[in-house]
Chains A and B, each alone.
Chain A
Amino acid sequence: MNKIIYILVLLLSFSGLLNGQVPIPAKDQDKPIIVMNATAHLGNGSVIDNSAIAFENGKLTIVADASTISVDMSKYDVIDATGQHVYPGFILPNSQLGLVEVNAVRATNDQSEDGSINPNVRSIIAYNTDSENIPTMRFNGILLTETTPVGGTISGTSSVMELEGWNWEDAAHSTDIAMHLNWPGKTRRRFDFSTFTVSESPNQNYTKDVAALKKHFEDAKSYGQLTDRAANLKLEKMQGLFDGSITLMIHASGPKEIIEAVNLAKAQGVKKMAVVAGIPALYISAFLRDNNIGVIIPPVHSLPTRPDQDIDLPYRLPHLLTEEGVTVGLSHSGMLANARNLPFYAGTAVAYGMNKEDALKTITSNTAEILGISDRVGTLTVGKNATLFISEGDALDIRSSVLSDAFISGKRITLDNKQQALYKRYSDKYGH
C-alpha cells in the first residue's frame, strides 16, 4: 500500500516535472508514521542500531530501540527500513540557496543589496521556493538552510528555511535569526594578473572602518534607549542583537580580526554571536571556546590558504576545532549547486580523524545550536520536528548515499526532481 502511494507520489511529481516545474510541495502529515529497524543516527553523537522512530503531526513521538517498545502498529503507516539508516535532516548554513539561481546571470541573483550598512535587509522575502537548486539539495539529505544575504559591512538578516513549501511563508522555519557582519580585514589582498598571485598589504582604512562600526553599534544602543524616537529602520533592526533575538554572525578573515570583532560586539552588549571563519579560527580556538562562540567553517573541500599549511588542513579543520572544544558547523561557499555535497564534507572530515557521529553533528545539531534553532531541529529527539530522512547506506559517503525517503516537519517530500526526469527521458530515448 505504502509502495503504491510512493509510486503515485513519484508519478505525480514527474507529471509536474514534465511541465518544467519543481516537485509539488507535500501535504501536511495526516497520519502517524513509524520507521522501523533502521540504524538511527540521532545527531547528538549516539546511534540506535535497531530503532523505532515515530512521528505525528510533524513532531517526533518515539525515538527508541525497537526491541524496548511496544506500540500499536495499526495506528501508523509503517516503513520497514531494515538495513537502512535514519538521520536528522542536514542543515546548510550561510547559504544563498533560494536567493541565487544562476550565478553568472545577474537577473537571477538576489543575494546582495546596495550600500554598506543594511541591518534592515531581510533575505527571507527573496527566498524562492521554486528555485531549481532546492530539490537537488534535498536529494542528498539537506532539509534546512539558513538563507543568507551577502555584501557590504552589515549584509542584513538571514532566516532558516525548510526546503519545502509553496512560498517563503510556508517554508519559513525561523525568521530573521541572524545578522551578518563582514568585519573589515587588517590586510587587503591585491591580485596581480601578470603573476597570477595575490599579495597582502595593510588595510589603511582598518582603524577608521572599525571606528565607524563601533559608532554604528553605539548609535543603535542609544536609539534603543530613547522612549520617544523617530523610526529608523536600520537602528530598529539592530535592537534584536541587544535583546538576544538575533545572533550576530561575524564573518572575519584573520585570527586578530575575530578577536577584535567579538570583543567589540561583547562590549556593545550583543547577546548572541557566532563566527564564520576557517583556518584562522584554529589559531585562537581557546578564545572561541572561552567565549562560547560557535564557528561556521567554509567548505571542508577547500585548498589550504597558504602553501606552508598541512595539505589536509581544511579536511582536518572540523576535527581539530572540535578537539579544542569549539562547536563547529560545516557550510558551503562558491558554486551554489555544489552545496549539495555538504554531507560528503562531513564524510571527508571522517577520513581525516573525526568520529562519524561527531562529523554528523557538524551538519545537524551543532549547526542548529549555532543558529539558535536546536529546540526544534538538529537531532532525532522526541518533541522536535520530524525533519529526517532514510538512506539505503551511509549518507556521509558518496558511494552509499542513496535516499529512499525524507520528511520535513512530518511532510513526506518528493526527492526526485528535474535531474532525475532528464535522466529518465534520455535513458528512455537510448533504450538503456
Chain B
Amino acid sequence: MTNFKSCVVLLILFMCALHMTSQETFPRNDVLDDRVDAYAFTNATIVVDHNTTITDGILLIQKGMIVGAGNNIDIPSGYTRIDLAGKHIYSSMIDLHTNYGMPEAESRSRGGGFRGPEQIMSDTKGAYNANEAIKSHFNASDVFTIDKKSAGDWRKNGFGAVLTFRADGISRGSSSLVTLGESSDNKVVLNNKAAAHYSFNKGTSSQNYPGSMMGFISLLRQTYLDAAWYNNHKTKPFTDQTLEAWIDNQQIPQFFDAGNWMNVLRADKVGDEFDVNYIIKSGGDDYKRVAEIKRSGASLIVPVNFPDAYDVSDPLDAEKVSLSDMKHWELAPTNPSTLEKNNINFALTSSGVKKKADFMANIRKAIKHGLSESKALEALTTIPAAMLNMQDRIGKLNEGMVANFIITSGGLFDEKTEILENWVQGEAFRYKPLDKSDDSGVYTLSIGDQNYNLEVSGKPGAQKFKIIINDSTKVDVSSKIDKELVTLGVKDKKEDKEEIRLSGWKTSSGWKGSGQLVDGRWVSWDATRKSDLPSEETSKESDRGKKGKKSVESKDEEIGKVIYPFIAFGNEQLPSQEKILIKNTTVWTNESEGILAETDVLLSDGKISRIGQNLRERGAKVVDGTGKHLTSGIIDEHTHIGGGGNERATNSGMVRIGDQINPEQINIYRTLAGGVTAAQVLHGSANPIGGQSALIKLRWGESPENMKIAGADEFIKFALGENVKRSSNAASIRYPQSRMGVEQVYMDAFTNAVEYEKKWNTYNALSDTEKSNTDKPRKDLAHEAMLEIVNGERFITCHSYVQSEINMLMKVAEYFGFRVNTFTHILEGYKVADKMREHGVAASTFSDWWNYKWEVRYAIPYNAAIMHREGVLTAINSDDSNMGRRLNQEAAKTIKYGGISEEDAWKMVTLNPAKMLHLDDDMGSIKVGKDADVVLWTDHPLSSYARAEKTIIDGKIYFDLDKDEKARKDLRIERARLIQKMKGVKKKGGKTQRPNSRIQLEFHCDVEHYSHIINHD
C-alpha cells in the first residue's frame, strides 16, 4: 500500500517535472541546472479548502505543484522537511479584479462633453470596430509582464494569483490569469485568455457616441447583434478584427465591471437578452437592493472598500455629508454577510481598497459584521477559481494543483495572525521567521567583573531586557536581536546617560560576547540563564493582555436599517395598498360632472371604486377632506427626473431612457410632494432623433423596473432648432447645422427605415433552404425604432419652438403616413395652432418661459390659451424638477394669461397629458375604475397657497404631510446617531475623511442659462 502510494507520488513527480521544465525551448547560458524543488511541510494545520482542514498534516510540493496533502503520507526521499508545528497553511488568495502587470493606463481627455468639435468616427487605426469603445481585440496577455514591486505587495498580503485586464472600454477584450511569482512571464501566466471583460465606461475612447448609460447599453446590444450578423456571413462583408475577437471571446467566462447595484441589474439584463451570464463586479452596495440582486441570479465580484467615517466634529461642515453616505459608511461592512445570507454566489476583491495592507482588516470587519469565516475563505479562493473554470488548478491545496499557498501563524482571519511565508508556484517568499526563540527568563549578566540580574520578558520576537536593581526598581536595557546575534546597551541607573555597549552571540545557556565600557575599555561579557521568570510576573503580564483585548472588542453595535430608496426620506417599508375613503371634499372630476362639492371618493384595490355622497365602507381608512380639494394626480408630460440624459448621435433613436431609470433621486420625492403621480421621462434635446422615453409613476422607493408603467405605449423624443444644430457650440461640426439639415435627417431616417423593412420582408419571405443560402440582413436598433414610428407603434414627443420647424415635421410625418403625437415646449405653437389641429398633434408647453435663447423671443404666456381655444389638446409641462413640483401653479398661469376656465386649466396638467401619453384609460380623471392616483390639496389646487397634503398612487399613500413631518424628525435622529457613532471612531483614533458632498444634478433639456455650471443641454 505504502509502496503503491509512493509510486503514485513518484509518477506525479515525474509528470510535474516534465511539466515544469516547459521552458526547454529557451536557450541556456550555463550547464543544465535543474533542482529537485521538493518540500514536505509537516505538523501543520492544512486548510485544504473552506470545508476541509487537516490537523497535524503533511503537505508535499514538488516543482511548483502540490503532490499530496494529508495525515498519513510518506515523505519520499529527496524532500526538504519544514516543521510547521502551530502554523497554518492556506491556499493563497485570488483576486479577479486587477490590472497587475498592465502598462500604466493611457490618459486621454475623454470625449462626451458638449463642447468642441464632435468626433463622429472611431480614431482607432486598422481593421477594427466602428466604435472606439469596443476593444474586444485587446488581450491582456499581449502586454502583460511581471511587475516585481507590485507582485511583492500582493504577495505580502496573502495573494497568489490574480486576474488581470486593462480597464479600458465598454468591451475590454480578454484578461489573463497569472500567478504572482517572479520566475518568468511564460511560467506565471496560467491562462492567457481567461475571461472577457465589459463595462459601462468608455474609457479612453474620445468618440462622441456613446456618452450615457443608455448609450453604453445600446452599443453593447448592437454589438451583440452585429457580431451575430457578421458571424453569420459565409463571406465576411468586410473585416472587423474586433468583432472576430468578440465572437471568439464568447467561449470564455464573461466579466462585467458594473460598479453599483443599479448597474449590476442593468448588466444582468443585457446578459439575459443575449443568453450571457455575466460575472458582475459590484460596487459593494448590493445590500441596498439585495432582493433584486438575488433575483437576477448573477454571480458577483464584491469589493470591500468600506468608506472611512467622516470627520463630523464641526456641525456646519457635517451638513455636507448626506444621510445616504453616512448610512453607507455604517452598512457597507454588512454587504458580504448580506450576500451570504441570501445565498448569492460571490468572490471578494481588494479592488478599491487603497492600501493592500488594509484588505485583510476589511475582511475581518466584514466577518465582525456577520460574514462567516468559511464563506470569506471560499470567496477568496475556490469561488474565484471556479468563476474562471480553474477550480482544478488553483484555490485549493489538493494533489495536482498549483503550489500557491501561504503559511500563517494562526487562523487566517484572526487579528493577531501574521503571514509568515507566501509560496507561489513553489517559489518561497518569506516575511517572518517560522521560529522565534523564547528567551524569557532571569539571567546573570557578567560584564567584566561586574554582575547584574538580567530579566528577559515578553512575547517571542518582541522581548524586553531589564536589569533588576531590586524588587521595585528595574532599568531598561536597549536590545536588538538578529537571529543568533545580540546587541545590548546597559546602564547602572535609569538617570545615566552613558551606556555599556555589548555585542554577542547565542550560546546554549544564554549569550556571550565582547563590549565596550563607558570609558572605552573593551571587556568580555556573558549572560547565563539561571531561572524562569517568577510566575507572578507572567500572570500579571497576561492579565494586562486580556484586559487590553476586551477594550478593543466592542459590544454588539447598533446598525441602522436599509431604506428604500437609499437616500433621505427613504422608507424601511414601502407603502402598502389601502382602502381609503376620502370624505366630504371638493372633487375635481375632470369628467362631465365637473367639480363636485361635499363628495366622498372611495379608493380600493388600487382603483377609484366609488364616487358619491355619504359613502360607507367597512375597513376603509377614512380621510376627512372637509375644506380640501381632491384631484386626479398631476401628470408631467416632460420631465428628466429619475433617469434623464442625452446621447450624442444625431439619430439616437436606439437608446432607451428605460435602461437608466434611477429611483434613488431625491427629486422624485420632492416632485411627489408637488402632487405629481406620473411622468414621461424624456431624453435630452441635443439630437433631431433622441432616445426612447420611459413612462413612470413616482412610486417612491420601488426598483427601477417597478417605477415603469406596465403596458404603456412606447414614445420617443425628437427635437428641433437651436439645440439640435448645436448653436451653443461654435465648434460643432455635426450634421445638421441648420434647420434645413434637420428636415433631411428625418427624411433620411424614415426612408432608411422603410428600405430596412423591405429588406427584412424579402428575407422573411424566403423558404428555409433559400434562407440558408442567403446572408441574413443586419438588425439595426435605430432603424427598428424609426420603423416603429412609421408603423404607428411608437409615438413622437418633439421638442420644438418656432413655427417653420413645427410645420416641417408635420409635413414629414404626413409624407410617411403617420402623425406626430406631441410637440413639447412648442412655444410658437400659437402661430400654427390651426395646422396643428388639422394634423391632430397635441401640444405640451411651458406656461411662461421665453427670451432665454434666440428661438424663443416670440414665446408668449398666452400660447396655451390660444392652442387650447383652437382645439389643440394642450398641456403644461415642467422640464425640470424645480418647476415639476409646482405644476398646479403653472396651470394657474393659463388663467392669468388668457383667461382659461379653472377646470380647463386643471386638465392641462392632468387629463390632457394623460391623453397625450395614451394613459387616459387609467389616469387623468376621477372616474370609477381608473387608477387610484389622486391628490388631496389643502386649498384650491390652482392657488399659490395650496399644498399637496396626500399624494396617492395605486391606492398607496406615497406622500403625506404628516408622514413627511415624521420623516424629517426620524432623519434628524438617524443622522444624529450616525454622527455620534462617527465621532466615536475619531475619538478612538480611527481613520476619518473630510466631510464631502456628492450632489446628484438634474438633467434638463433646456438650461442654456445654467450652462456656466453644467456643460450640457
Contact = CB atoms under 8 A, between A and B. Distances in A.
Interface of A: 101-105, 132-133, 187, 191, 193-202, 254-256, 283, 301-308, 310-312, 334-338, 340-341, 344, 347-348, 350-352, 396-399, 401-402, 419-420, 422-423, 426-427, 430, 432
Contact of A351 (B201, B645, B944, B971): B944
Given A194-B201, A307-B323, A423-B860, A430 B998 contact: no
A59 B886 CA distance: 39
B1008 A104 contact: yes
A198 B999 contact: yes
A303 B882 CA distance: 6
Given A104-B1008, A194-B201, A398-B893, A338 B944 contact: no
Given A191-B1014, A398-B896, A422-B860, A104 B853 contact: yes
A397 B834 contact: no
Contacts of A194: 112, 201
Contacts of A198: 997-999, 1001
A430 B834 contact: yes
The DSSP consensus for interface residues of chain B is loop
B831 A303 contact: no
B713 interface: no
Contact of B316 (A255, A301, A302, A432): A255
B274 interface: no
Contact of A103 (B666, B848, B997, B1008): B1008
Name the residue in B667, B851, B996, B1001 with the highest tally of chain A Cβ atoms < 10 Å from its Cβ.
B851
B1010 interface: yes
B861 A419 contact: yes
A336 B999 contact: no
A397 B944 contact: yes
A377 B488 CA distance: 90
Interface string B332-356: 0000000000000000000000000
A120 B600 CA distance: 66
Contacts of A401: 896
B991 interface: no
B573 interface: no
B853 A307 contact: no
B999 A307 contact: yes
B825 to A, nearest CB: 13
A341 B848 contact: yes
B737 to A, nearest CB: 17
A335 B1009 contact: yes
Contacts of A132: 851, 857
A306 B964 contact: no
Name the residue in B113, B322, B866, B944 with the highest tally of chain A Cβ atoms < 10 Å from its Cβ.
B944
B316 A308 contact: no
10 contacts: A102-B853, A102-B854, A104-B727, A198-B998, A199-B999, A305-B999, A311-B964, A336-B851, A338-B848, A399-B902
Q: Which 5 A-B pairs have the closest CB atoms?
A: A347-B944, A104-B853, A423-B862, A307-B666, A399-B892
Contacts of B853: 102-105
B1003 A396 contact: no
Given A198-B1001, A422-B862, A398 B316 contact: no
Nearest to B853: A104
A404 to B, nearest CB: 13
Given A197-B1001, A347-B945, A351-B946, A311 B569 contact: yes
Contacts of B568: 307-308
A310 B849 CA distance: 27
Interface of B: 112-113, 201, 316, 319-320, 322-324, 567-569, 645, 666-667, 669-670, 673, 722, 727-728, 830-831, 833-834, 848-854, 857-858, 860-862, 865-866, 869-870, 881-883, 886, 889, 892-893, 895-898, 902, 939-940, 942-947, 964, 968, 971, 975, 994, 996-1003, 1008-1010, 1013-1016
Nearest to A351: B945
Given A398-B892, A419-B862, 7 more contacts: A105-B853, A254-B316, A301-B882, A338-B849, A350-B944, A398-B944, A423-B897
B815 to A, nearest CB: 26
Nearest to B886: A301
Given A104-B728, A401-B896, A307 B324 contact: yes
A254 B865 CA distance: 43
Contacts of A352: 947
Contacts of A396: 944
B420 to A, nearest CB: 42
Contacts of B1000: 195-197, 307
Contacts of B882: 301-303
A301 B946 CA distance: 14
Contacts of B943: 397-399
A312 B569 CA distance: 13
Contacts, number: 185
Contacts of B1016: 193
B687 to A, nearest CB: 17
Given A301-B886, A307-B567, A200 B851 contact: no
Name the residue in B316, B667, B831 with the highest tally of chain A Cβ atoms < 10 Å from its Cβ.
B316
Given A102-B853, A308-B322, A193 B112 contact: yes
B851 A303 contact: no
Contacts of A336: 851-852, 1009
A133 B324 contact: no
Contact of B896 (A103, A104, A301, A399): A399
Name the residue in A104, A191, A195, A340 with the highest tally of chain B Cβ atoms < 10 Å from its Cβ.
A104
B1009 A308 contact: no
Given A104-B728, A432-B866, A306 B1013 contact: no
B837 to A, nearest CB: 10
A310 B870 contact: no
Nearest to A186: B317
A337 B849 contact: yes
A310 B964 CA distance: 9
A103 to B, nearest CB: 5
B964 A191 contact: no
B971 A308 contact: yes
Contacts of A193: 112-113, 1015-1016
A121 to B, nearest CB: 19
A191 B940 CA distance: 40
A344 B852 contact: no
Contacts of B857: 102, 132
A354 to B, nearest CB: 10
A110 to B, nearest CB: 15
B945 A397 contact: yes
A104 B854 contact: yes
Given A104-B722, A308-B323, A419 B860 contact: yes
Given A337-B851, A398-B896, A306 B322 contact: yes
A254 B318 CA distance: 13
Contacts of B896: 398-399, 401-402
B866 A426 contact: yes
Contacts of A101: 851
B997 A306 contact: yes
Name the residue in B673, B849, B945 with the highest tally of chain A Cβ atoms < 10 Å from its Cβ.
B945
B870 A432 contact: yes
Nearest to A422: B860
A9 B971 CA distance: 58
Contacts of A337: 848-852
A55 B971 CA distance: 54
A399 B895 contact: yes
Contacts of B862: 419-420, 422-423, 427
A415 to B, nearest CB: 13
Nearest to A200: B997
Contacts of B881: 303
A181 B968 CA distance: 35
B338 to A, nearest CB: 24
B515 to A, nearest CB: 55
A44 to B, nearest CB: 22
B647 to A, nearest CB: 13
A335 B849 contact: yes
